[in-house]
Chain A
Amino acid sequence: MYASLLSRRSAFCTIVLLWPALLVPGGGMVGRAADVDAQLAAIAAAGPNGQGAQAASYAADMLSKCDAAILPRLLEAMDGDNPVAANFLRQAYERIVARELARANPTFNLEALRAYVVDTRHNGKARRLALDLVARLDPEFAPRFLAQALDDPEFRFQAVALALERAAASREAGDRQQERQELLVAFQHARAAEHVLQASRELAALGEEADPVRHLGFIVDWYVVGPFAAPGYSGFDTAFGPEQQPFAAEAAFADVDGSRRTWQRHRCTDPLGLVNLVEVFGPLREQVAYAYAEVESEQQQAAELRCGADDNLTVWLNGEQVFARRQWLNGIRLDRFIVPVQLVAGRNQLLVKVCQGPQHRDPEVPNNWSMQVRLCTPDGLGLKLKTILP
């Protein structure tokens, strides 16, 4: 059913789109539906290395002359994984919208636009684009939709932010029960670290425990061993003892100077699972350390290993190297690297190697040495795995 905003003109154009015939009079006959197909195909063919740009640019011009009834079709054409084509389509979309909005009585297929926004199968950026227009035409839609989008892959962040705002409003109003409820909803659906931490902190103030570490799946219970001297940038390519033999808590390793290195238990207390190796081993340079963890999975399952380190890290899962990055001077950032992995049912062993490079020539630049590892679902929710370190 079309919204009341749909005019006879747009209805005509939509009919034209549905039954191949004349498309749209937008200052004259622009083309037939088959022509629209051809223009969309030309844009879809645009891609890497400037490929198809000239034809896509022309096609975007042609499409921009169409009536606003074509907008849902342009949006659908934005689905997929072609950022170049999507941007050419956006040019046509923006011009049509601007032209239509400038008219005395703008006419849009509002229902089709709303339907596009709420359908999570569509391209997230294009859904936002459609939402911008819907919000202008129907100001009540966006807040209503966003409040319910707590599991929406594109709008989750805003939905959780709104839940946190509602919690704050309840707090202001002195309604502790409603505040607690809103915070629990926010925490449960939050995937962004800042939201998880905020909800956790505010729930704690209400006496409610909400553990960010468990929620996001950080591994915080480790054995660590080191340091192993690694002059310059040699650490990445040097296989020290811990990666040459299966883990044994009582194992001992000799550093190059004969020093004895043994595994020591380390449980980090950072709410985002940051293991600070400077705190463990001291402010060293040109060294390597290892960390080892065991987690239990109830079943075989796919997971995402999300990790980062300063300076760099190599990760083995159940004896197989699943990640290595020769990158120095990194700076640690949450979820910097995302690696699809398979967990086996039962015990899973993680070994992590973290290198520490030379000191910056400016002694005031901190020489950080740290790591951060978590196991989660593709949407970032932590897997509730049990630590089973010996």
Chain B
Amino acid sequence: MMGTSCCTISVVYASGARRCGLGGRPETECPPRCASGLLRWLLLFYVCGGWVACSVARAENWPGWRGPLRNGVSSEQGLPLRWGAEEGIAWKTALPGAGISNPIVWDELVVVTASDGYLQQDLHLIGLHISDGSERWHVRLWGTAPTLHHAYKSSMASPSPVTDGEAVYAFFGSGDLAAIDLQGRLLWHRALAAEYGAFENRFAASSSPLLFEDLVIVQCDHYGRSYLLAVDKHTGANRWKADRPECWLSWSSPTLVPVPGQSRWELLVCGSEKVEGYDPASGEKLWTFAGLARECVPTPVFGHGLAYVVSGPRGDTFAIRPGGHGDVTATHLAWSSDRGTPFVPSAILVGEEYYLIDDKGIGTCLDARTGEQRWRRRLLGPVTASPVAGDGKLYITDEEGTTLVLACGDSYRELARNKLGEPVYASAAISQGRLFLRAAGHLYCVAGRP
């Protein structure tokens, strides 16, 4: 079943280019061709990634926050349509403590993070067998400086871990960044709160780490001294650190986008009323686009040559052309819309449609190329989780654990409404034909194709 390692590595190393294969609509700006680190990836992509595009119905890993492309979209087929608390569940495993990080999947391994204990200072990384949910290993760490957090919707385990198939890199709201090998052995640990000051955060940090070549990149925006940090994934040592002295609290996760017509990537970082483009290799700030909310949570997505950046509530979606230098606010905007902007859930781009699910459970569908509204309606109760999609289905889960399954497309079509019967605040994962739902006390594996 497996044999997916090399192709998923390609995804992790250079997710943007995989977008070409994913949507079945190659985009001219996708493949970077110069950067030495990406040459290796290009080879992998054409040898393996292309194969994946043709055989995605078999298996695709979900290696980090919002999946292989950091956008919530899976290329798999045969995904689940209907389930219930007892129906259609392949397995269900009790989890300790709290956490809204999404599960990650790599071949036979599912990894979840959690925190519990006094002040939420006990951090957990738990490796489970994908076949039955049994525990393979359980790593416990002390959080260096736990912060305030929301009673239900956050903990020290809000950021999702990420893996390249060699190690799992996990970041916690206590300011701890650690690498664990796939057997559960601690490889390195950075106590960022001890090195650069405790995070000051009223809902606990939730920015998920990002892998770029041999770097692990974390965004540390908080009330104190904010910064972006890239460390060597093998040693944990700093490769670059970009201070963000003008920034305050945000929970958004950085993401990579390819620059149209150029062989390079840009790192998009949202927070403090702006989104900024950085050189992911050096940490150099390249451009700024102003107009976002004071505190940003959603993670941008990319497609059609545009970066879709949203922050709310009562904010805007901006479709921005990557690239440029300095203040690009007036020059790089393709379109904007003030409809349906969420505070917490990230938006999702599937083909020609851009979907926003706000915190109250109201959905808005926009034309991804123009921003024109396709439909808007109440879908569910309050929502914290970000939507995911695959196999032509859009999965939206509310805080009560009800997942609405919609058909992707320009018109509204409900396919199913599935009640898990347990609160859900974490975003789902899709892998190997299954849907992984992390509820308040359990991880559910929803069975898909036989």
Contacts and interface: CB of A to CB of B under 8 A. Distances in A.
Interface of A: 46, 48-51, 53-54, 57, 60-61, 83-84, 86-88, 90-91, 94, 125, 128, 157-158, 327-331, 333, 336, 360-362
Contact of A50 (B144, B223, B237): B237
B148 interface: yes
B236 A49 contact: yes
Contacts of A328: 248
Nearest to B200: A336
Contacts of B202: 331, 333
B185 A327 contact: no
Nearest to B315: A362
Contacts of B224: 327
29 contacts: A48-B194, A48-B195, A49-B190, A49-B195, A49-B238, A50-B188, A50-B190, A50-B236, A51-B237, A53-B235, A54-B235, A61-B185, A83-B176, A83-B189, A84-B190, A84-B191, A86-B142, A87-B142, A88-B186, A90-B140, A90-B142, A91-B185, A94-B139, A125-B142, A158-B118, A327-B224, A328-B248, A330-B223, A333-B148
Contacts of B223: 327, 330-331
Interface in B46-91: none
A50 B235 contact: yes
Contacts of A331: 202, 223
Interface string B217-237: 000000110000001100111
Given A49-B237, A88-B189, 10 more contacts: A48-B191, A53-B235, A86-B142, A91-B185, A125-B121, A128-B117, A157-B118, A158-B118, A329-B294, A360-B294
A360 B292 CA distance: 12
Given A128-B117, A333-B202, A57 B188 contact: yes
A366 to B, nearest CB: 13
B314 A53 contact: no
B182 interface: no
Nearest to A331: B202
B94 interface: no
Nearest to B141: A87
B238 A87 contact: no
Q: Which 8 residue pairs spanning A and B have beta carbons closest together?
A: A50-B236, A53-B188, A50-B237, A83-B191, A50-B235, A83-B144, A48-B195, A87-B141
Contact of B140 (A51, A88, A94): A94
B141 A90 contact: yes
Contact of A53 (B117, B142, B187, B238): B187
B233 to A, nearest CB: 10
Contacts of A87: 141-142, 178, 186, 189
A328 B194 CA distance: 23
Say which size band chain B's interface belongs to: 35 or more
A326 to B, nearest CB: 9
B43 to A, nearest CB: 29
A103 B381 CA distance: 48
A61 B142 CA distance: 18
A61 B186 CA distance: 9
Contact of A57 (B187, B313, B314): B187
A50 B194 contact: no
A135 to B, nearest CB: 13
A238 B224 CA distance: 22
Contacts of A54: 187-188, 235
A46, A87, A336, A362 pick with most chain B CB within 10 angstroms:
A87
A61 B187 CA distance: 10
Interface of B: 117-118, 121, 139-142, 144, 148, 176, 178, 185-191, 194-195, 200, 202, 223-224, 231-232, 235-238, 248-249, 294, 313-314
B349 to A, nearest CB: 26
A245 B249 CA distance: 36
Among B117, B176, B223, chain A packs the most CB atoms within 10 A around the CB of B223
Contacts of B200: 336
Contacts of A361: 294
A48 B192 CA distance: 8
Contacts of B118: 128, 157-158
Nearest to A94: B140
A240 B294 CA distance: 29
A328 B294 CA distance: 11
A128 B194 CA distance: 20
Given A54-B235, A83-B142, A84-B191, A327 B186 contact: no
A157 B117 CA distance: 13
B237 A57 contact: no
Contact of B248 (A125, A327, A360): A327
A191 to B, nearest CB: 14
Nearest to A53: B188
A323 to B, nearest CB: 14
B166 to A, nearest CB: 14
Nearest to A362: B314
A262 B165 CA distance: 67
Instruction: From A49, A50, A86, name the one whose CB has the most chain B CB atoms within 10 angstroms.
Output: A50
Contacts of A86: 142
Contacts of B188: 50, 53-54, 57
A369 to B, nearest CB: 17
A60 B186 contact: yes
Contacts of B140: 90, 94
Contacts of B191: 48, 83-84
Contacts of A49: 190, 195, 236-238
A53 B236 contact: yes
Given A327-B223, A330-B223, A360-B294, A50 B231 contact: yes
Contacts of B313: 362
Contacts of A94: 139-140
A86 B189 CA distance: 10
A377 B199 CA distance: 24
A60 B140 CA distance: 14
Nearest to B194: A83
A361 B272 CA distance: 13
A90 B176 CA distance: 15
Contacts of A336: 200
A125 B191 CA distance: 15
B195 A53 contact: no
A136 to B, nearest CB: 15
A60 to B, nearest CB: 7
Q: Which of B117, B185, B231 has the most CB of A within 10 A?
A: B185
A88 B194 CA distance: 16
A165 B202 CA distance: 28
B175 to A, nearest CB: 10
Contacts of B142: 83, 86-87, 90, 125
Given A49-B238, A91-B139, A331-B202, A57 B185 contact: yes
